[in-house]
């Protein structure tokens, strides 16, 4: 089943690639697509709301919510958007057919999908060992956003960890990206558990529908303590054509992420505007979580990993795993100096403090492979 889903994803992206075209937006403008109004993309909202994009010299054009990462990647390849906000798995999948895939920004430094169980759950308690909690999910109905998503990937990884299979030992129910629909399904008993993006646990608990059971960001899963997850990505063609716009975009995102870390008193009101369906209690609970998960310059110096299943985004050949030119996306992080065009430079925190107009492009390929190949699966 996993191979079939991977093949279908590649088919979709390859079809989009056949119609690949460069950006048609005018100078100074970027069309930015994202999966949904997930909490991972909150920095984009802050940067828009506070006018950071305009202040840094870029205007956002179309802002579609496309529902899945595969659709974001397809829109990127077709040229209907210039950059896409999704999860790292989406960028890695795109890199399988486009070795010019580039990471523009890191939005979340922890894996922000949680497992939530219903209020009437009669399995092992949350204090039980991780493997015992995973085995208790066997035979249950687990709601996910959709096939090929980070929500499905978490279930697959957890089941493989204990020798089970997500395509035979559990029923995965596609619920789409709306948190209200997922919580409704959990409360009505249509699913026994959810694998869903934050703040689903806080919302479910506030609604009396369920409780947080397994949380990578809480430290429940070894190896997930520092996992790049929410990202913004694009293609090399776009980077070459709109380097100044990408650099401005990066600076605006960096300012928004700084606000999350340094101005916590502003976050609840911004969250209320960003996601009106979120319960006030859930919003308050999210503030410390967001501050902890927001990328920092110091964090860029620490060892970060990709999700262990990210190896599925690489070509099947074992030799391909060593081909650093084609196996995973390159990365562009926030710029700091004044180069007229993009070029490889050290990660944030290792260079000087001069402002760059060219977008930062630092290869994380080797580190990604080391993390994947050394992961405890």
Percent of the chain with pLDDT over 90: 46
Asked if the model's pLDDT at residue 243 lies above 90, the reply is: yes
Q: Which residue from 105, 72, 115 is spatially nearest to 90, judged by alpha carbons?
A: 72
Q: pLDDT, tens digit, for every residue of 302-328?
A: 444 555 544 433 322 333 333 333 334
- Looking at residue 123, the DSSP 8-state letter turns out to be S
Asked if the model's pLDDT at residue 134 lies above 90, the reply is: yes
By the 10 Å C-beta count (0-12 exposed, 13-18 middle, 19+ buried), 100 is classed as middle
- Looking at residue 65, the DSSP 8-state letter turns out to be B
How many helices (H) and strands (E) the chain has is answered by 15, 14
Q: pLDDT, tens digit, for every residue of 86-117?
A: 988 889 888 888 889 999 999 988 888 999 99
Percent of the chain with pLDDT over 70: 72
- Which range is least confidently modeled, 4-13, 17-26, 137-146, 164-173? 4-13
Q: What is the pLDDT of residue 338?
A: 35
Q: Are the C-beta atoms of 85 and 44 separated by less than 8 Å?
A: yes
pTM of the predicted model, to two decimals?
A: 0.68
Q: Which two tokens stand for residue 182?
A: 């997922």
Residue 281's pLDDT band (cuts 50, 70, 90): confident
Domains delineated in the chain: 2-110+227-373 (3.40.190.10), 113-218 (3.40.190.10)
Mean pLDDT of 171-182: 90
Q: Which residue from 239, 236, 216 is spatially nearest to 305, judged by alpha carbons?
A: 216
Asked if the model's pLDDT at residue 344 lies above 50, the reply is: no
Residue 198's pLDDT band (cuts 50, 70, 90): confident
Q: What is the pLDDT of residue 93?
A: 86
Q: Which two tokens stand for residue 70?
A: 């595969």
Q: pLDDT, tens digit, for every residue of 49-87?
A: 999 999 999 999 999 999 888 899 999 989 999 999 998
Q: How many CB atoms lie within 10 A of CB 11?
A: 11
The Cα-based distances of 56 to 29, 47, 61, 332, 355 in angstroms read 12, 10, 15, 17, 12
The helix/strand/coil state of 27 is coil
Q: What is the pLDDT of residue 242?
A: 95
Q: What is the pLDDT of residue 217?
A: 85
Outline where the chain has alpha helix (H).
2-18, 42-49, 52-56, 69-78, 88-95, 130-135, 150-161, 179-188, 200-206, 236-241, 243-262, 267-274, 280-293, 297-301, 365-373
Q: What is the pLDDT of residue 280?
A: 78
């Amino acid at each position: 089943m996993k191979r079939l889903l991977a093949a279908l994803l590649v088919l979709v992206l390859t079809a989009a690639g056949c119609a690949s075209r460069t950006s048609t937006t005018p100078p100074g403008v970027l069309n930015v697509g994202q999966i949904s109004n997930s909490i991972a993309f909150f920095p984009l909202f802050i940067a828009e709301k506070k006018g950071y994009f305009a202040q840094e010299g870029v205007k956002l054009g179309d802002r579609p919510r496309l529902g899945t990462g595969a659709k974001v990647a397809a829109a990127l390849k077709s040229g209907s958007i210039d950059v896409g906000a999704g999860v790292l798995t989406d960028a890695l999948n795109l890199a399988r057919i486009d070795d010019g895939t580039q990471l523009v920004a890191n939005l979340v430094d922890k894996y922000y999908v949680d497992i939530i169980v219903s209020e009437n759950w009669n399995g092992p308690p949350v204090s039980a060992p991780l493997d015992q909690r995973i085995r208790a999910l066997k035979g249950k109905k687990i709601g996910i956003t959709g096939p090929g998503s980070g929500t499905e990937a978490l279930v697959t990884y957890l089941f493989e960890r204990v020798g089970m299979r997500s395509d035979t030992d559990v029923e995965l129910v596609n619920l789409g990206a709306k948190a209200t629909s997922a919580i409704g399904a959990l409360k009505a008993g249509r699913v026994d558990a959810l694998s869903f993006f934050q703040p689903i646990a806080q919302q479910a608990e506030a609604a009396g529908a369920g409780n947080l059971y397994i949380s990578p960001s809480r430290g429940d899963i070894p190896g997930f303590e520092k996992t790049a997850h929410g990202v913004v990505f694009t293609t090399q063609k776009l980077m070459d054509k709109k380097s100044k716009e990408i650099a401005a975009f990066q600076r605006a995102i960096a300012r928004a992420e700084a606000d999350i870390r340094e101005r916590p008193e502003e976050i609840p009101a911004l969250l209320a505007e960003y996601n009106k369906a979120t319960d006030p209690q859930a919003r308050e609970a999210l503030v410390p979580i967001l501050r902890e998960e927001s990328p920092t310059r110091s964090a860029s110096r620490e060892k970060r990993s990709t999700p262990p299943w990210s190896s599925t985004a690489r070509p099947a050949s074992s030799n391909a795993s060593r081909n650093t030119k084609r196996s995973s996306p390159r990365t562009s992080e926030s710029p700091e100096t004044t180069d007229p065009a993009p070029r490889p430079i050290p990660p944030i925190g290792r260079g000087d403090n001069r402002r760059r107009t060219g977008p930062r492009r630092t290869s994380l390929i080797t580190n990604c492979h080391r993390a994947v190949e050394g992961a405890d699966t």
